Amino acid sequence: MNQSLRILLWDLDGTLVRGKRLGTFKDYTAPMLELVFGTAGCLRDLVVSGMTDLQIVEEALRGEGITREHIYLRRDELRRCYLEEMKRAVTTGAHVIEPIPGGREVLQAVHEHPRYASALLTGNIEPAAHFKVEVAGLAEFFTLPGAFGDESFDRRDLPASAARRINEYLGAELKPEQFIVIGDTPSDIACARHFGARVIAVATGRIHSAEDLRAGEPDALLPDLLDVDLVMETLAKL
Ligand SMILES: [Mg+2]
């Protein structure tokens, strides 16, 4: 039973959810950084796809002399302010979080299939990830523990930590190749490879084309999640 099990490690932004407009997350992230660190640094100029939230903060503030240690020390405050600003932006309608078309249907299909279980592997800080999944109406599919962007400055650390938690939770010893990362950026592919997991790239993000993703040599590449049968056939080979 355990050997046939596959754990799908889902990326969030660009894969299962997206902001209605590109880059609106900076509208609430900038004031949050100003509140916690007194500056948003070069956040406005960053291309942040595939980065963890801690990494985004580090890159944005590097030029201001704010180090990784400073950021670690203020991590709890960062989490709290980040979630507050995000909730405010969503409540006022300034930021609209939408599910990616087909995502719900795919999550439902894998949920009903005994070979699969789903978990989150996202660069979002954990409370923000749960909030987004809730807003998008997808929370029911994520009962397993996952890995999140407030635990590392490097996405490549996340699959191992998700796997450790999931193995503990299930009382199992699943092998790296039983995990399948699903994401929309070259960083998703890189983090899967770093751990030894399989990876499906989906060209649903706004930054990376199918061609960009193909260059990272994922195990499979899908244009989107609209064709549930195609997604299931692709998963069945991994
Ligand atoms: Mg993404």
pLDDT digits (tens, 9 = 90+) for 85-129: 999 999 998 889 999 999 999 999 999 999 999 999 999 999 999
Q: Give exposure, 69-93, as e/b (b: 16+ Cβ within 10 Å).
A: eebeeeeeebbebbbebbbebbeee
Q: How close is the Cα of 91 to the center of ligand 1, in Å? A: 23
Burial class (CB in 10 A: 0-12, 13-18, 19+), 172: middle
- Judgement on whether residues 153 and 208 belong to the same structural domain of the protein: yes
Q: How close is the Cα of 12 to the center of ligand 1, in Å? A: 6
Q: How close is the Cα of 18 to the center of ligand 1, in Å? A: 9
Q: How close is the Cα of 187 to the center of ligand 1, in Å? A: 9
Q: Pick from 41, 59, 91: which residue ends a domain?
A: 91
- Judgement on whether residues 77 and 179 belong to the same structural domain of the protein: no
- Judgement on whether residues 225 and 126 belong to the same structural domain of the protein: yes
Q: How close is the Cα of 172 to the center of ligand 1, in Å? A: 28
Could you give the CA distance from residue 152 to residue 17 in angstroms, rounded to a whole number? 22
Q: pLDDT (tens digit, 9 = 90+) per residue, 8-56?
A: 999 999 999 998 877 788 888 999 999 999 999 999 999 888 899 999 9
Q: How close is the Cα of 184 to the center of ligand 1, in Å? A: 5
Q: How close is the Cα of 52 to the center of ligand 1, in Å? A: 10
- Judgement on whether residues 145 and 170 belong to the same structural domain of the protein: yes
pLDDT value of position 49: 85
Query: 97-99 and 17-19: which strand pairing?
Result: antiparallel
Q: What percent of the chain shows pLDDT beyond 70?
A: 100
Identify residue 20 by its one-letter amino acid code: K
- Judgement on whether residues 120 and 66 belong to the same structural domain of the protein: no
- Judgement on whether residues 65 and 163 belong to the same structural domain of the protein: no
Could you give the CA distance from residue 96 to residue 112 in angstroms, rounded to a whole number? 29
Q: How close is the Cα of 207 to the center of ligand 1, in Å? A: 9
How far is CA 219 from each of CA 10, 109, 179, rounded to the nearest angstrom? 15, 21, 12
- Judgement on whether residues 149 and 226 belong to the same structural domain of the protein: yes
Span 150-167, average pLDDT: 97
Q: List the CATH number of the domain containing 11.
A: 3.40.50.1000
| C-beta atoms surrounding 39 within 10 Å | 16
- Judgement on whether residues 168 and 103 belong to the same structural domain of the protein: yes
Q: How close is the Cα of 48 to the center of ligand 1, in Å? A: 10
Q: How close is the Cα of 128 to the center of ligand 1, in Å? A: 14
Upper half-sphere CA count for residue 169 (Cβ side, 13 Å): 13
- Judgement on whether residues 104 and 179 belong to the same structural domain of the protein: yes
pLDDT value of position 27: 86
Could you give the CA distance from residue 60 to residue 133 in angstroms, rounded to a whole number? 26
Q: Pick from 74, 91, 108: which residue ends a domain?
A: 91
Q: Pick from 91, 121, 146: which residue ends a domain?
A: 91
Q: How close is the Cα of 25 to the center of ligand 1, in Å? A: 13
pLDDT value of position 181: 98
- Judgement on whether residues 84 and 142 belong to the same structural domain of the protein: no
Q: How close is the Cα of 215 to the center of ligand 1, in Å? A: 17
Span 60-89, average pLDDT: 94
Could you give the CA distance from residue 237 to residue 151 in angstroms, rounded to a whole number? 31
Q: pLDDT (tens digit, 9 = 90+) per residue, 191-213?
A: 999 999 999 999 998 889 999 99
Q: List the CATH number of the domain containing 40.
A: 1.10.150.240
Q: How close is the Cα of 1 to the center of ligand 1, in Å? A: 31
pLDDT value of position 231: 98
pLDDT value of position 1: 53
| C-beta atoms surrounding 141 within 10 Å | 22
Q: What percent of the chain shows pLDDT beyond 90?
A: 89
- Judgement on whether residues 228 and 172 belong to the same structural domain of the protein: yes
Q: How close is the Cα of 11 to the center of ligand 1, in Å? A: 6
- For helices 75-91 and 53-61, the axis angle rounded to 10 degrees is 100
| C-beta atoms surrounding 134 within 10 Å | 13
Would you say how long the chain is, in residues? 238
Query: What's the predicted TM-score (pTM) here?
Result: 0.95
Q: What is the mean pLDDT of the chain?
A: 95
- Judgement on whether residues 39 and 121 belong to the same structural domain of the protein: no
| C-beta atoms surrounding 62 within 10 Å | 13
Domains in the chain, number: 2
Domain span including residue 37: 25-91
